[in-house]
Amino acid sequence: MTQAYVLTLSCPDRLGLVHAVSGFLLEHGGNIEEAAQYNDSATGLFFMRVQFGCAQHDHATLSEHMASFAQHHQMHWSLHATAQPMPTVILVSREGHCLNDLLFRWKSGLLPVDIRAIISNHRDFYQLAASYNVPFHHIPVTAATKAQAEARQYEIIQAENAELVVLARYMQVLSNDLCTKLEGRAINIHHSFLPSFKGAKPYYQAHDRGVKLIGATAHYVTADLDEGPIIEQDVTRADHTDTVETLTARGRDTESQVLARAVKWHSEHRLLLNGHKTVIFR
């Protein structure tokens, strides 16, 4: 029976890499369905994503052969079977627009994820979680309990075998320790007003200054607050007729769309890290 796989890899660039990868897949019964590659002349690195079908080997056997092949080419690689959607845990606080959007897209079959748990430092969305039959974990966070709260969060993430953690407007700063544990598998979303309008009510501050562009950034979580590798960004225009309410609504729509695209690309294994940047095979 033919199984679908996605192979992603990066390595020092050299002649014949596309030929070598396609030859390896042919030798092992792989039928390439989609392929994309990128050569970064600034770093001398080669990046590739290949989607293929294979009936000759199972995942474990393919991985074993790939490990030997990759070692020869100094490749960092991963091989994913696409039959199962990506196990995902969502963290949220009191703004639910991104959470609601992700849940709807998931249940509508628009995102290849399996949302296994929602974690929040407030109780606001337990009914929303229940309506989608998703376990809801209320874990309050204070300065005194932050370490214990994060330990419990990570315990849930590990228990659900989450390959992706989404901070869908989770308004708590993660510790360096948790950021390290979630490196490369946690995505955050924030508005585009940083660093100009920090703190509470950024849309009120932006309206007061008469901004003409509002937007959002989705990025991987790192210990450097809001400075992880950027995945996706978008903007929408504003003008003098906008109220705080319309400005906020437009900003929330943009945040939801940007986060959904980032989650989709990650769960389809279209993202590769390139130092402080990302390579995205859309």
The set of catalytic residues is 226
Burial of 10 (0-12, 13-18, 19+ CB in 10 A): buried
Closest by CA position to 191, among listed 233, 154, 152: 233
